[in-house]
Structure 1
Amino acid sequence: MATGEGAGPGRTVSAGLLGGLIGAAAIWVYEGVRDGLGAMAYPLGTAIHVAFALARGGPFALIWPAFRRRGVEATLVALFYAVAAWVVTHLAVAVTSSSRPDDLAPDVVIGGALSHIVFTVPLALGVKRWLG
């Protein structure tokens, strides 16, 4: 396996996409155990999560080699990346939608943070593995 520093941009992006796909699968399972949204919410929510997961995998794969050179564990980076992803997601939803949950409600904060951690840790471990 190539290391992140020696990997070409294509390999780095591929590692990010694969890591994002693993994260998408993890978040899909997590979201899949939640009830009450109706039948159509699952395929729509899955499609949205997969699209965002793929989009988030690439940037993680690009920043990971710099942290690895400094000896920082991928899962630690993932925890901070999860918080950043959650904040960006909530800002995007706030700007684009008038129909959203109360962003400061404890269940929204805890559920959102937990779901993003469930997503980013597998993403990080996948990127770590594929970039060597």
Structure 2
Amino acid sequence: MKTKATKAIATRCEICGYGYVFPQDRKEHAAYCRKLQRARQFFGDDLVLTYHQREELKKLGRSIWQNEALPLGERVDGALMEITGWYARSLAESGYNRKFESFGKYAIKLLRSSPRLYPTEIYTELWKRYSVAS
């Protein structure tokens, strides 16, 4: 009696960014995708990012804050993009723990531990914004 061979298909989920082989990795992908969707409902789409999204956000943010020709407000926004990428990575590494520290607490902790991370004018604006929130 012949058994029908199932053709393996490499694919990437558009929802969670997970690359997997169907059908072998179907259950593993489904569990990961559900976890990510629940995390997005709790933390928001802007903080639960795939690896690729985090890296692109950090790269773009860095290019903005390093551009001294831009207005200070835009450069501060660029620094926030970079910090958001780092926060999203830490959040993912926590397993999307619902007790994970807030973005504001994360930002102020980062600024305290790395006072020379950004130029003084950007650091000062970030400090004003997040030292009040912590």
Query: Going by fraction, where is helix more abundant, 1 or 2?
Result: 1
TM-score normalized with structure 1 length: 0.38
Larger Rg: 2
TM-score (norm 2): 0.38
